[in-house]
Structure 1
Amino acid sequence: MGELTGVRLLLVLLAAGYGLALGRLLPRAAYRLAVEPDEPWRAECPAGHPFTGWLGGPPCRTTSTATATATVTATTSAALAATTGPHPELAVWLLLIPPAVLLAAVDTRVKRLPDVLTVPLAAGAAALLGAAALVPDHAGSWRHALLGGLALGGAYFTLFLVNPGGLGFGDVKLAVGLGTVLGWYGWVTLFTGAFAGFLLGGGYGLALVVVRRAGRKDAIPFGPFMLGGAFLGLLIGSLAAQGA
């Protein structure tokens, strides 16, 4: 038992360091991708200096964005390492966290979830979990993961058809990836993560209405709440898998 606890603690520390390092490389990509749908990706910083790549610190050496992304990436990585433990799917979660944080940052700024991130996230989740299912001691089901992606993506697509003004099609594409991740641990985890996303987004929207910073029909960036709900669902699902 003590040896297992030591391994888990080491995983948490390594995951936190990994998240801290990767999180500091995301601000440049977030700035470049945070444009309106009909605009090209940014090629220069606000001062007019051309970018030489996608990964790196924020433009013009500002530090607030780098600190925020590094903190979020490190915290989520460490938390999932703590609950998942030494199981192969942990490697999948750690690989998916940076693009998830990047999506949240872009959506918060311009209410957009770019295809260049949502589509690879969904495909990558399916492929990586398929590989994890081949490794001994995994704690989930690849079949359930694929069904979860179809189920949550289909549910969001239905909501999009019913009320196109309430959800964007980027939310539908993101739902496919999140459903795949949540489905790994089964239907209860899928429902928990999806419901948590709606609960977080609804609470935020209601708070804005109460303080009169938005109206009831004003759109909010829903991606960060979908991602936050999926994160909570994964924490609960991974803990439940340990006790199974």
Structure 2
Amino acid sequence: MDAVLLVLTLLAGLLGAAAGLLLPRPAHRLSVEPEEPWRATAPDGAPLTGWIGPARTAHRGWYGPSTPVTVTVTALLCAALALSAGPVPELCVWLLIAPVLVLLALVDRAVKRLPDVLTLPLAAATAALLGLAALIPGARGSWIHALLGACALGGGYYVLFLVNPRGMGFGDVKLATSLGLALGWYGWGVLMLGALAGFVYSSLYGISLVAMGRATLKTALPFGPFMVAGACTGLLLGGFGA
């Protein structure tokens, strides 16, 4: 590993750790049922006046998803993305969307919901930022392929939603559009790999729960975390192979 890539990886990891420190509070506030307003208080009743800041109160301490876990996961993900992509324009896009993807996975895991307040801006921002990255010398992907990937993966999930709306939420369709943009940047091979990996991860997790007696074949599982994990797998392999 050369010095530039090493420094870039370390910086990306630090940025990811800083972002991960701030994720539990919005995860707590967004983890509500569709008909409920966003949470405005901490578990001890203390009012939350903003979305940014550590998830900690004076009386109850830390709340929401485990802060050490979110810090570690986001730091490792950002560092891995930097290591795989290297000093290219699209890396800025991956580092910006990675914490949002982790946040979406946290919320979906908690309440089986992917809020529009995250999925819709994520899709628009990913498309716009990749368009800018494509204009910068050194970019190793295609914006046209990214747009086609969004149509392909979003369309595919929409078909699955129409066929089985109980097993596939419309939030998954919206998230698939953003993931299709990112994966499509590297081409059809990475797109298919990232999409397939999500289904493989979900199946393996479901089988393990059934084997341990903690679920049945009819148990509904949040699919967002597996979509994110599969997409990140595709992005990592796409970066190394680009």
Report the TM-score when normalising by structure 2. Answer: 0.96
Aligned pairs, number: 238
| SS of match in other structure, 1:193 | helix
> For residues 5-44 of structure 1, what are the alpha-carbon distances to aligned partners after superposition, in whole Å with 9 as ceiling and x for unaligned?
1111010000010001111011110000000011000001
What displacement does 1:59 show?
Answer: 4.2
Are 1:31 and 1:59, in contact at CA under 8 Å, matched by a contact in 2? no
Match of 2:62 in 1: 62
How does 1:121-136 map onto structure 2 within 5 Å?
121-136=122-137
Corresponding residue for residue 226 of structure 2: 225
1:169 corresponding residue in structure 2: 170
**Alpha-carbon distance in structure 1 between the residues aligned to 2:109 and 2:27:** 10
Partner of residue 37, structure 1: 34
Give the Cα–Cα distance (whole angstroms) in 2 for the partners of residues 153 and 204 of structure 1: 23
How far apart are residue 174 of structure 1 and its match?
0.3
Q: Pick one of 36, 43, 48 that aligns with 1:46.
A: 43
1:118 counterpart residue number: 119
Percent identity among equivalent residues?
Answer: 59
The one-letter code sitting in structure 2 at the alignment partner of 1:52 is T
- State the shift of 1:65 in Å: 1.6
For the 8 Å contact 1:36–1:112, the answer to whether it is kept is yes
What code does the residue aligned with 1:162 have? V
Task: Look up the equivalent residue of 1:51 and give its one-letter code.
Answer: L
Q: Which whole-Å CA distance do the structure 1 matches of 2:106 and 2:121 have between them?
A: 17
Instruction: Give yes or no for the alignment of 1:95 onto 2:92.
Output: no
Q: Determine if the alignment matches structure 1 residue 28 to structure 2 residue 25.
A: yes
Partner SS for 1:133? helix
> Which residue in the other structure is 1:216 paired with?
217
- Hey, what does 2:110 align to over in structure 1? 109
Q: Provide Cα deviations, 1:49-104, integer angstroms capped at 9, x if missing partner.
A: 11111012224331762111111110000000001001000000000011111001
Name the TM-score, length of structure 1 as normaliser: 0.95
The 8 Å contact of residues 148 and 183 in structure 1, kept in 2 or not, is answered as yes
Q: Within 2, Cα distance between the matches of 1:52 and 1:164?
A: 36
Alpha-carbon separation, structure 1, partners of 2:79 and 2:200: 24
Distance 2:26 2:222 in 1: 18
**Aligned equivalents of 1:198, 1:122: Cα separation in 2:** 21
RMSD of aligned alpha carbons: 1.1
- Unaligned 5+ segments in structure 2 are none
Match of 1:12 in 2: 9
How far, CA to CA, are the matches of 1:103 and 1:55 in structure 2? 16
Corresponding residue of 2:240? 239
Shift of 1:226: 0.2
Match of 1:74?
75
- Equivalent residue of 2:81, what SS? helix
Aligned AA (1:16):
G
Cα deviation, residue 125, structure 1: 0.7
Which residue type is aligned with residue 105 of structure 2?
A: A
Letter in 2 for 1:27: P
Aligned-partner Cα distance in 1 for 2:165–2:48: 36
Cα pair 1:133 1:140 within 8 Å, conserved: yes
**Letter of the structure 1 residue corresponding to residue 207 of structure 2:** L
Deviations 1:151-207 (A, max 9, x none): 000000000111111111100100000000000000000000000000001111111
Question: Structure 1: which 4+ aligned runs deviate by more than 3 Å?
Answer: none
| Counterpart code for 1:18 | L
